[in-house]
Amino acid sequence: MALSAEHEHQLRQASHGSIVALTGAGISAESKVPTFRGADGLWRRYRAEDLATPYAFAADPLTVWEWYDWRRGIIAAALPNAGHHCLRRLELAVGDQFQLITQNVDGLHQRAGTERVLELHGNIWRTRCTGEHHRVELMEQLPELPPCCECGALLRPDIVWFGESLDPGLLDRAFAAATGAALFLVIGTSAVVTPAADLPRLALAQGAFIAEINPEPTILTPIVHLSLRATAGEALPELVDIILDACTQ
Ligand code: NAD
């Protein structure tokens, strides 16, 4: 990864303030967890956009649960990769100057040890009662599909589906972090799902230095300060070295 002298200077300057990382499915790709929009994002003949919706669940909860069960199996077999570990290294070094915001539901950041994680879209290991209990539970082992709550209502994955609203409290914290960021890293997201995709734009408007890591150009590429055409596992080790070197000077 070759940074121009100007980019490295700007990155070092920004490293003295609050650091926010927004991650998407791409950071888990090197752990072999499929992204939604990649070629291996298809399950049977369904597209994710057709399964991760309240309408799909209402029409056919069994198929939706079978898909989540398939994804749970892949994630259970996956390990955090160099990208996840680098962000933990950053957190350990700068503490509460760091905030991780993820669109991922796989829990791999937490398995890498990261504590300051805002999971905007939920977590695949939790279930939520669709009936009167509304109870959210960590449920690593599922009973017979589709699983039911003790009240008799269906359980659903505790995930924000397309067409649903995000938790307003979490969203407030994410927007506050983006507003106060000096350095904003956008890692492995196509940045097409709002409101998550609004966060880097807000940080940019507030004067943050924005660095994107993605092997493909995205809709954000034309507006960010630095766009590294690399995988998270390739680019983050060196990027984090530079940030930490700058922080300790
Ligand atoms: P996306 O599938 O739309 O985009 C993934 C992005 O990652 C692409 O831009 C791709 O070029 C990039 N990418 C691929 N490999 C990469 C790598 N090794 N390093 C860095 N970048 C890489 O994903 P999204 O933007 O996160 O939006 C999709 C939605 O799907 C999110 O809401 C998320 O909740 C959900 N999702 C989550 C997971 C997961 O938890 N692991 C997996 C699939 C989808």
Distance between Cα 189 and ligand 1 center (Å)? 5
| Ligand 1 pocket member 104 (CB < 6 A) | yes
Provide the pairing of β-strand 226-228 with 181-187: unpaired
Q: What is the pLDDT of residues 131-155, one digit of tens each?
A: 987 889 999 999 899 999 999 999 9
Q: What is the pLDDT of residues 201-212, one digit of tens each?
A: 999 999 999 999
In the predicted structure, residue 165 carries a pLDDT above the cut 70: yes
| Ligand 1 pocket member 51 (CB < 6 A) | no
Pick the catalytic residue from 9, 16, 121, 133.
121
Ligand 1 pocket: which of 28, 31, 36 to mutate (most atoms within 8 A of CB)? 36
| Ligand 1 pocket member 107 (CB < 6 A) | no
pLDDT of residue 93: 97
Q: What is the pLDDT of residues 55-100, one digit of tens each?
A: 999 999 999 999 999 999 999 999 999 999 999 999 999 999 999 9
Given pLDDT bands bounded at 50, 70 and 90, which one contains residue 12? Answer: very high
Q: What is the pLDDT of residues 13-41, one digit of tens each?
A: 999 999 999 999 999 999 999 988 776 67
pLDDT of residue 2: 79
pLDDT of residue 133: 78
